[in-house]
Structure 1
């Protein structure tokens, strides 16, 4: 009898995990608390994904400030939405090695994107810091490499062009998930340093615990 109880309990647990794992990006997007992206409410979020033909460009759907929203990409693991002319958000579902799911959010600003904020949440939208801190550390390390490369390019210890260099993040559902850092130079403020084509990139891959 005890063996039968154990088997029955195991089946119930496995069944629950299967249901849990079936949650898609569309579900996660709809369940997002309004406080995370105040520019939208639940009704607007539903409108964006319920008719999810990206080619239709989602004309007519407005954010709460009256700006136009555009669905750029959507599948079971990933969504990219333009929230306004100068801002957008990407969400990526990541599978942890514990079997649970994690949400990675990238909010980007500017047109083209010039700044990014990355956050992580559990599947029920509880913020988590550990994975975020790893990304922050990786971004700081990448920025240091950018500075060193600029110094070599310019031959100067402190070239004037350093300050406007920004690190832009992009997410991808390729393989298990990727997070890419790219450099962005919004303005050419130095007359003696010409770096119009200066670009650096680093791609981090999700390993079940962190982006590395």
Structure 2
């Protein structure tokens, strides 16, 4: 009787712990690796080896072709038209002694007919400076400094129309320091900037769009090769 009770207790413990093999190997499990504790499945009927996929290789740009990017090039200047307009103009800025011929800037020089004068006789004076791609002129003023830039460098965007000075339509935009009007003429690009005096935090509040456009429209040719 005691022996039967012992057998029942043993069976109960086995059911609770799941530690006994009543089938003598029927649920044959592969032996665990002594170092890693993982089952060795190399000899099992069903190959359980997991294939590790290699990391994808980077695609060589040289094989697929390089992406096209925008490039800058020199524009073709219509010097004949510039010379005709200069010869027929009676309103040209005479503030600066602009050189002509081969000594002139690489673009026709456009300047305002009525440049902004210094705030006082002792204040900053107007400046003009040729640069390799064009020129810039600065006219100090009471509310803002007027800066005129001309350049023969245009951006050629892939898939777009080739840059040849763009459109002559004037484009107004407010900037962090004031405002700017940009346009193209004779194949060159021009910018008329209004730099508000002070911190510039007020943006373009020192000049209205109508005022800026009016000043830009009075820009005339004052020099050419």
Q: Would you call these one fold, judging by a TM-score over 0.5?
A: no
Structure number having the greater helix percentage? 1
TM-score computed with the length of structure 1 as normaliser: 0.24
Query: Which has more radius of gyration?
Result: 2
